[in-house]
């Protein structure tokens, strides 16, 4: 990687993480409880622990929050064959 | 889940596990530096501390990768698997400190920005990708650290519920990419500054150990994913086992409808459920029925055999299957029922 490429990579990464940090504040205060009922009374320690993941995976969480999705049900051959999630 | 999230669901076993882990790690780091100072006086304290952190993380990564297959080979290893996530987070912390320390130590020589410039230096200082002996090994460390970060950051049950177990597992299977990156990081790094063959030799032994364990387990389980065949009964049931094969409170694992199912015997009753625990997709069929509930061998999640539902207040549920006992054999309908569907158990001795 050249120095210029490294600079642009770090700028893009920094921007992505800064947006994630901005998103994390309202998400941890309100959004997590909207998409997962078990987070409604989640402790502050829990919120602190999911902060790094929230910063890293914020586009996924944002899309779920905007769609007011409940926690998804997993897909598996058995669940698919049983007609779940259709 | 069905109850409010906390940072860590502490219990006595986890406290003992973490205390042992912490003390063992401190002992390893101190011992490495002290022995290193005596054995290699030409190395600085910083270099030895850097190596202590790196080798500590590498050692823990080997332990983490070994626990799964060891627990499949012998259930006495299961207690180590129970709290493996704490082991993983600790390993990531060690690797992170190693990475930050190495970046500051080797790349903070300019007068520019103290945060950005060392990072640019790590990514771009060495561009000798045409030479194996001078290959930019740092990049493999960066890749491994990024993967280990993602794994540590998503280790809480919130992520299991919100990514779902199969997606979470797929994400965490990247540990093998991280392991390959770490091996390359160490192997190429030692080519550039290490005269002793000890470190590269130990890494080679570690690779053979990890690969060997996984191959042995793969060999032992090679038949489990073979679909159950045979002539179906008039109602479409398939013969999966003789009643005598089923030990009380335990299961036989077979494959139906593209995935493993667990055929459990509970006294004179037979119930059949999907083999994957909803928590981390642990192998329920390797667990036991205790107090009337199927208990996952990995983290103790419980399910009622006849309906595949966790007892309240928990909300996990898994697909169930219809079963019959006829002429001393267990027959299972291969079409799974929606998770949580109550199914009357087949009764041994009550067959026509």
The verdict on B73 touching A (C-beta cutoff 8 Å) is no
Phi and psi based region of residue B2 (left: phi greater than 0; alpha: psi -120 to 50; beta: remaining): left
Q: Which residues of A touch B167 (CB under 8 A)?
A: 74
Q: Specify the residue for token string 């069929």.
A: B285
Q: What is the ipTM of this complex?
A: 0.91
- For residue B2, the model assigns a pLDDT of 64
- For residue B311, the model assigns a pLDDT of 95
Of B156, B167, B319, the CB nearest to A82: B319
Please give the residue of chain A at the shortest CA–CA distance from B2.
A38
Helix locations, chain A, DSSP H: 3-26, 32-35, 44-56, 58-66, 77-81
Q: Is the pLDDT of residue A70 over 90?
A: no
* Chain A residues near any Cβ of chain B (below 8 Å): 1-3, 5-7, 9-10, 32, 35-36, 38-43, 45-46, 48-50, 52-53, 56-57, 61, 64, 71-79, 81-84
Is A74 in contact with B164 (Cβ distance < 8 A)?
A: yes
Is B123 in contact with A6 (Cβ distance < 8 A)?
A: yes
For chain B, residues with pLDDT lower than 50 are none
Rounded to the nearest integer, the mean pLDDT of chain A is 91
Q: Which of A21-30, A47-56, B208-217, B343-352 has the lowest mean pLDDT?
A: B343-352
Are the C-beta atoms of B339 and B302 separated by less than 8 Å?
A: no
Q: Is the pLDDT of residue A73 over 90?
A: no
| B246 three-class SS | coil
Q: Could you state, in order of their start, the residue ranges of all structural domains in chain A?
A: 3-81
Is B337 in contact with A82 (Cβ distance < 8 A)?
A: yes
pLDDT in tens, B239-266: 999 999 999 999 999 999 999 999 999 9
Q: Which residues of A touch B123 (CB under 8 A)?
A: 1, 5-6, 9-10
Is A2 in contact with B124 (Cβ distance < 8 A)?
A: yes
Contacts 24+ apart (CB under 8 A), B158-163: B158/A32, B158/A36, B158/A38, B158/A39, B158/A42, B158/A46, B158/A50, B158/B5, B159/A50, B159/A53, B160/B279, B160/B280, B161/A36, B161/A38, B161/A71, B161/B1, B162/A35, B162/A36, B162/A61, B162/A64, B162/A71, B162/A72
How many residue contacts between A and B have a Cβ separation below 8 Å? Answer: 122
């Amino acid at each position: 990687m050249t120095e210029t490429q490294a600079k642009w990579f770090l700028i893009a990464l920094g921007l992505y993480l800064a947006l994630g940090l901005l998103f994390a504040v309202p998400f941890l205060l309100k959004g997590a409880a909207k998409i997962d009922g078990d987070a409604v009374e989640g402790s502050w320690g829990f919120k602190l622990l999911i902060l790094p993941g929230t910063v890293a995976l914020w586009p996924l969480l944002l899309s779920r929050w905007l769609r007011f999705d409940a926690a998804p049900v997993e897909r598996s051959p058995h669940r698919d064959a049983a007609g779940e999630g259709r | 889940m069905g109850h409010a999230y906390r940072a860590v669901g502490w219990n006595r076993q986890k406290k003992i596990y973490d205390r042992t882990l912490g003390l063992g790690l401190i002992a390893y780091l101190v011992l490495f530096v002290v022995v290193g100072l005596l054995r290699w006086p030409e190395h600085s304290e910083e270099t030895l501390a850097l190596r202590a952190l790196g080798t500590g993380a590498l050692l823990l990564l080997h332990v983490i990768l070994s626990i799964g297959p060891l627990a499949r080979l012998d259930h006495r290893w299961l207690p180590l698997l129970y709290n493996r996530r704490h082991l993983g987070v600790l390993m990531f912390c060690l690797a992170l400190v190693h990475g930050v320390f190495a970046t500051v130590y080797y790349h903070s020589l300019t007068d520019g920005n103290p945060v950005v410039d060392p990072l640019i230096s790590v990514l771009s200082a060495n561009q000798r990708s045409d030479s194996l002996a001078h290959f930019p090994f740092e990049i493999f460390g960066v890749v491994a650290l990024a993967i280990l970060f993602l794994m540590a950051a998503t280790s809480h049950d919130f992520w299991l519920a919100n990514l779902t177990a199969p997606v979470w597992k797929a994400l965490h299977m990247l540990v093998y990419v991280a392991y390959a990156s770490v091996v390359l990081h160490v192997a190429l790094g030692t080519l550039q500054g290490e005269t002793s063959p000890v470190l590269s030799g130990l890494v080679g032994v570690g690779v053979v150990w990890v690969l060997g364990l996984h191959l042995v387990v793969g060999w032992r389980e090679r038949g489990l994913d073979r679909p159950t065949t045979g002539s179906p009964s008039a109602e479409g049931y398939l013969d999966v086992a003789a009643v005598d094969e089923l030990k009380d409170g335990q299961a036989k694992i077979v494959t139906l409808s593209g995935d493993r199912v667990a055929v459990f015997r509970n006294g004179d009753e037979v119930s059949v459920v999907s083999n994957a625990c909803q928590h981390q997709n642990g192998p329920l069929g390797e667990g036991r029925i205790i107090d009337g509930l199927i208990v996952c061998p990995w983290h103790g999640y419980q399910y009622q055999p006849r309906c595949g539902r966790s007892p309240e207040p928990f909300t996990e549920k898994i697909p169930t299957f219809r079963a019959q006992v006829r002429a001393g054999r267990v027959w299972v309908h291969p079409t799974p029922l929606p998770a949580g569907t109550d199914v009357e158990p087949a009764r041994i001795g009550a067959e026509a």
